[in-house]
Chain A
Amino acid sequence: MDFGFSQEQELLRATARKFFENECPSTFVRARMEEPVGVTDGFWNKLAEQGWLGLVYPEALGGSGLGFVDLTVLMEEMGRCVMPGPFFSTVLLGGLAILEAGSAAQKNEWLGKIAAGEARTTLALTEPNARWDAAGVTVTARQGGSGFVLNGTKLFVPDAHLADVLVVAARVAEGKSPEDGVSLFLVPRDAAGMTVALLPTMDQTRKLCEVTFRDTPVDAGALLGPMGAAWPSIARVLQRATVALCAEMCGGAQKILEMTTDYAKIRVAFGKPIGTYQGVKHKAADMLVDVENAKSLTYYAAWAMDENAPEAGLAASMAKAYVSDAYRKVAGTGIQLHGGIGFTWEHDLHLYFKRAKSSEFTFGDAAYHRERVAQLISL
């Protein structure tokens, strides 16, 4: 029994920490916030050179064949620097969907390119109904012509404006259950009748889009996975992405804790560093407790993913429920303990505070996952 990171993983952490300190300081993050793209080609290529864009893809498909515990380490470091750009959407949403559901040909076509930094993708799943379950999928894919015709609106789609190809969830038939009848399609960026509109977001480090389909034709080869039976794949992708997101959130929360304790040691009020006062100390201790428990649940979920453990879904929901609350609380307390300076645009805290908020609702908030836990423990 060993519930810690290996030497290789610690090395990955050290490498990543240094890399992001150099390549992704907050000046870089802020510049990306101001423009629609959210990433530079130079930065993206460096991620590819490090092997991080294909970290969890099999070696045979151009990846590094590492696991979710390894990914956890990387995600924590990305969260620490509030990394902007389409990593999540490309590698962990669209990419994982292709890995999960794709044919050999589809995987060969896309995953190598993603890992090499040559292609970007995303998963267009959620809609104006803002649901994360199968019932939320109402965009239709009608069989017609040589393939399918898509109609409807996707909302909150991350980085759709940057994707070379979108993985779109659509309903091909009304089935007996909501899960029944959902398919995935690979839709190229220039598909006819598809419009992508970038949405102004509170967390400017995460770009979200509205994607509308008006009689958008896709050919039969665009079908990803079995006809009408893609939901299990989608669920697996969501589960995995959820765990990766939790790790990213843990990294951000840890960084806020460090920023705050560092500040509390030097900021003087009433003749002493504010960290001397119990009102500050006890809040800092609460932050630490939240951060440590968040990590414990996240690491466990990552391990359960790697092991394909039967309780992996439960583990992912436990983690997301806890981490959603923890990151929000820690970020809020971080601002509080900084006083007026924490409320400024200039200070980096708001980048984390906003990331905490957007992450809270991504893949379902705490209440959603607590209900899932309740179901999974047969309440």
Chain B
Amino acid sequence: MDLTLTPEQETFRETVRTWLRANIPEEWARQTVAGSDIPRVEAYDLLRRWQRTLYDAGFLGLTWPVEYGGRGLTFVEEIILQQEMALAKAPPVLNVLGIGMAGPTIIAYGTEEQKKRYPAKILSCEEIWCQGYSEPNAGSDLAALQTRAVRDGEHWVLNGQKVWTSFAQFADWMMLLARTDPAAPRHKGITYFLLDMRLPGITVKPLRQITGDAEFNEVFFDSVRVHESEVLGGVNSGWRVGVTTLMYERLTLGFGLQVRLRIALDGLIEMARRVEKTGRAVTKDPLTRQKLAQLWIETESLKYTGARALTRLLRGELPGPEASAGKITWVDVNQRLQEIAMEIQGPYSQLRRGSEWAVEGGAWAHSFLRSRANSIEGGTTEIQKNIIAERVLGLPKD
């Protein structure tokens, strides 16, 4: 057991740290919302530029192969980068779904042509990706998806609808799951497509969320013609490919999530120091201290649980039970953190952006509302628990 870094890794840390100090955009410090883990619409332009800057400096795709635009480094460097970004309160990357999911999946399953074509542009933020999995009648039960793709010569013709598709209104590409063989068993008739969002027949309708923002969308396909070269991982093999994407999501986004959580917690503590309740700083209130300390402890535990999972990966072992604990813990801690932020603000938590009385410009009201999605997006907590019970603990399937 050794959590120390090699001299090369220490040097890398130093390089990242120095670079961040010099390059974090000034506007960010002003716009930054301490409690926010998801980029907000009004920050997109800034974040696009920021990702490009990170890419040009060589800090993106650290673990991706060099020939596909990456750096060929290990997950240790990736974690160092994420930690330093947290410490520096750096803006997040915009193309999260591309970097966290599309890129790694394409690198794992793509043809040589696909691997040359897509990953680098994901890193540089030239092409933003969204994930078209969920449908009105297929959420948790993803394999129930009904969007159809029918072969027509060299093309597949798409009809159907996706929903809750984050970033679809800005995305250039979509990871799309569609049914290509309705006669096959549910999991066997699905194909994974790389879909150009500019093709004719695609309509994107933003959906307003409880935050008031429109972050996710409905996406309709009306006889959209996709070329067969855009199939990823083989016709009717989409389930396997799609599940890989979800594994990457849990892994790569996992590191980032812990780090963003730590940023949010630091922000919460800073805010709490300034809030007075019955004549003293709320951080001196014994109950609040208990709650903040518990958040701290669990945020740290996520870090070390992540380190254990990473170690298995670096040793070339299969993921262990610790890998499953991450997402559930993160969701629980973040939602509790947001509740506590509201509690600390008391009546002020009712105010949102626009009121000069609102704490930190009403940012916490937004991140509080946004956190309700955490236990739904990327697989609900109930589904995560089913997976742990059945796959990790071996309890019988229903």
Q: Show the binding face of A for B, using Cβ within 8 Å.
A: 1-6, 9, 69, 257, 261, 264-265, 272-273, 275-276, 278, 280-282, 284-286, 288-289, 292-293, 295-297, 299-300, 302-303, 307, 318, 321-322, 367, 370-371, 373-374, 377, 379
Contacts and interface: CB of A to CB of B under 8 A. Distances in A.
B76 A297 contact: no
* Interface SS of B by simple majority: helix
A2 B292 contact: no
Contacts of A4: 1, 308, 311-312, 315
Given A2-B1, A3-B310, A5-B1, A275 B290 contact: no
B169 interface: no
A377 B296 contact: yes
Interface in B233-272: 269
A281 B3 contact: no
A299 B1 contact: yes
Interface in B379-393: 382, 384-386, 388-390, 392-393
Interface in B352-394: 382, 384-386, 388-390, 392-394
In the complex, the 5 A-B pairs of residues with the closest C-beta atoms, listed nearest first: A281-B389, A275-B395, A296-B304, A285-B385, A370-B293
Given A281-B389, A303-B1, A374 B305 contact: no
B347 interface: no
A178 B390 CA distance: 53
A285 B386 CA distance: 8
Contacts of B5: 1
B2 interface: yes
A285 B290 contact: no
A292 B293 contact: no
* Interface SS of A by simple majority: helix
Interface residues of B, number: 51
A371 B322 contact: no
6 contacts: A1-B5, A282-B385, A285-B384, A300-B300, A318-B296, A373-B297
B186 interface: no
Nearest to A379: B283
Contacts of A257: 393
Contacts of B296: 318, 373, 377
Contacts of B385: 281-282, 285-286
Contacts of A374: 289-290, 292-293
Contacts of B298: 293, 322
B396 A293 contact: no
B294 to A, nearest CB: 6
